[in-house]
């Protein structure tokens, strides 16, 4: 091995110490931790669009856990979300879970709201009151094209030319197609 200058060794040690400091700073400020603390729960949703493993679990906007796994139940075709909640935040049996968006175009997180029941959900238990994610594209489409959610083709209302009304009553001055 070659002889190393003490200045080179000292510089290398300083670089490693600074890199370690950045790592500790990053872990402390992102809410991540090396240890696992808390208890596990799960909830079933009809839609979890955009929710990912590692996403925040929040109560009143404050991070109290993270999403551990998202699986599909082959019997009900619902998404089963396994998540952790920090010890010290027991949830009651009438608590609710919602897949929420962080801002207009932000990421998804699991929002928990505690209920008022006397009994708490044990570790490994389920949150039964749930609301899945809202599809922003579908909402914009309904707003832009005036859809009523009736399921008719083209988002048309019953009685207009788009829905194929045989009477031809368009209600909007549009001639029926022949």
Burial 122-159 (b: 16+ CB within 10 A, else e): eeeeebeebebbeeeeeeeeeeeeebeeeeeeebbeee
Distances (CA, A) of 58 to 11, 15, 53, 89, 109: 43, 37, 14, 11, 7
Q: Residues 39-76: pLDDT tens digits? A: 999 999 999 988 999 999 999 999 999 999 999 999 99
Q: Residues 109-152: pLDDT tens digits? A: 999 999 999 999 999 999 999 999 887 777 888 888 886 655 44
Is 0.85 topped by the overall pTM? no
Smallest CA-to-CA distance from 85 within 131, 47, 120 is with: 120
Smallest CA-to-CA distance from 68 within 83, 57, 50, 78 is with: 83
């Amino acid at each position: 091995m070659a002889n190393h200058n003490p200045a080179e060794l000292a510089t290398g040690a300083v670089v490693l110490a600074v890199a370690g400091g950045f790592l500790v700073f990053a872990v402390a400020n992102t809410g991540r931790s090396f240890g696992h603390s808390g208890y596990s729960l799960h909830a079933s949703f009809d839609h979890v669009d955009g929710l990912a493993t590692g996403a925040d679990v929040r109560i009143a906007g404050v991070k109290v856990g993270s999403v551990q796994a998202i699986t599909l139940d082959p019997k009900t075709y619902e998404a089963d979300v396994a998540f952790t909640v920090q010890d010290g935040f027991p949830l009651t049996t009438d608590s609710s879970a919602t897949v929420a968006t962080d801002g207009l175009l932000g990421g998804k997180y699991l929002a928990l709201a505690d209920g008022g029941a006397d009994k708490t959900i044990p570790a490994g238990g389920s949150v039964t009151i749930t609301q899945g994610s809202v599809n922003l594209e579908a909402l914009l489409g309904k707003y832009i094209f005036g859809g009523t959610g009736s399921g008719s083709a083209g988002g048309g209302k019953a009685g207009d030319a788009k829905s194929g009304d045989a009477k031809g009553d368009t209600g909007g001055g549009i001639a029926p197609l022949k």
